[in-house]
Amino acid sequence: MTARILSGREIAESIKEEVRDEIARLYEEHGFRPGLTVVRVGEDPASAVYVGSKVKTSHELGIISEHIHLDADTTHDEVLQIVKKLNSRDDVDGILVQLPLPTHIDDSAILEAIDPAKDVDGFHPMNVGRLNQGVRSLVPCTPAGVIEILKRSNIEIAGKHAVVVGRSNIVGKPMAALLLKENATVTICHSRTADLPSVTRQADILVAAIGRAGFVRGEHIREGATVIDVGINNVSDKEFAAELFSADDLPKRLAAIDNRGFTLVGDVNPKEAMEKAGSFTPVPGGVGLLTVAMLMKNTVDAAKMRRKI
């Protein structure tokens, strides 16, 4: 059996298209364009790439975006003051503080300082609470993107057993809350779960958000299950790459290791998932592409909710 590939590319493109149309409509009927401000502190290279892609996509869709890049030695209070100023600016609908922040900054305090109505990452305790109550809120982008992949691929969620591996505030917990809202029966696993494969093998929908390259193997997957791979990891060891990728895929992965020092892999072993799963999201080209698209959607939703449209 070979799994059906759930490509994030087309789904992300359709969502962006819908957001672009909605932004044009808002401008025509209400005379404004949504505004998004991204705050980045320090020089984390992955953050620079993520922020670049968020700002670029905003421009493409007609969102007025702004990138505030602060030195790594910016103090906690300085970041707090910037957030407060953005809270009070009427042209700013969405505020995103890119994580991770340098260690001298208390990231929870910064996230809590963001006006919940402008919290387009959905990390503010008010939005977390609303999500858990199942009421309308700004929802974290990556798990929201997973729900879009499932729905737009016509994979039924209601009544299915969904197993989420990972319980972070950014992915695992909101993922579980969203699946529950969609009427799945949800199990959350973590590093202290006993006999993980026996739990994950019960999943109709298995979501891996662990942060360990190729961790989910064939033994974790029930034949025919839908496997969603949220992980993004770099692999530079060629022997390990040979365990992860099929004969078709391996040559281009090894070439990537030669050319730039690494290839991207998720938290699932793709070769084994392709043999065992019914459907599977690739890395790259799967969930990752949805995260930015959902951020754009959240920015428009925030703008509409704040203006009571």
Backbone φ, ψ for residue 202 (5° rounding):
-85, -5
Q: Which helix (H) or strand (E) holds 234?
A: strand 233-235
Report the C-alpha gap between 137 and 287 in whole angstroms: 21
Report the C-alpha gap between 143 and 147 in whole angstroms: 7
Helices (H), the chain: 8-30, 45-61, 76-88, 107-113, 125-133, 141-152, 172-181, 196-200, 238-244, 250-260, 270-276, 287-306
How many residues in the shown chain lie near ligand NDP by CB under 6 A?
Answer: 26
Nearer of residues 77 and 195 to ligand NDP, judged by Cβ? 195
Give the x-and-dash track for 123-142 against ligand NDP (CB under 6 A).
Answer: -------------------x
The bridge status of strand 94-97 relative to strand 161-165 is: unpaired
When asked if residue 34 is in the footprint of ligand NDP (CB under 6 A), the reply is no
Nearest CA to 142 out of 10, 299, 288 is that of 288
When asked if residue 192 is in the footprint of ligand NDP (CB under 6 A), the reply is yes
When asked if residue 117 is in the footprint of ligand NDP (CB under 6 A), the reply is no
Q: Catalytic: 107?
A: no
DSSP, res 87: H
When asked if residue 232 is in the footprint of ligand NDP (CB under 6 A), the reply is yes
When asked if residue 165 is in the footprint of ligand NDP (CB under 6 A), the reply is yes
| Interface positions, 196-225, toward ligand NDP (CB under 6 A) | 196, 209-212
The bridge status of strand 263-265 relative to strand 233-235 is: antiparallel
When asked if residue 170 is in the footprint of ligand NDP (CB under 6 A), the reply is yes
CB of 91 to ligand NDP, least distance (A): 27
Sequence-distant (≥ 6) Cβ neighbours of residue 138 within 8 angstroms: 116, 119, 120, 121, 122, 124, 127, 298, 301, 302
- Name the catalytic one among 16, 93, 98, 301: 98
Q: Catalytic: 271?
A: no
Q: Identify the residue among 132, 193, 254, 264 touching ligand NDP (CB under 6 A).
A: 193
When asked if residue 267 is in the footprint of ligand NDP (CB under 6 A), the reply is yes
The reply to whether omega before 100 is within 30° of 0 (cis) is yes
- Name the catalytic one among 93, 121, 204, 301: 121
Nearer of residues 22 and 229 to ligand NDP, judged by Cβ? 229
Q: Catalytic: 202?
A: no
Report the C-alpha gap between 128 and 136 in whole angstroms: 11
CB of 166 to ligand NDP, least distance (A): 4
Nearer of residues 50 and 82 to ligand NDP, judged by Cβ? 50
Nearer of residues 116 and 231 to ligand NDP, judged by Cβ? 231
When asked if residue 308 is in the footprint of ligand NDP (CB under 6 A), the reply is no
Confirm if 211 and 192 have CB atoms less than 8 A apart.
Answer: no
CB of 199 to ligand NDP, least distance (A): 10
- Please tell me whether residue 200 adopts helix, strand or coil conformation: helix
Nearer of residues 94 and 172 to ligand NDP, judged by Cβ? 172
Nearer of residues 92 and 210 to ligand NDP, judged by Cβ? 210
Interacting residues toward ligand NDP by CB under 6 A: 142, 165-168, 170-172, 189-193, 196, 209-212, 230-233, 267, 287-288, 291
| Active site amino acids | 54, 98, 121
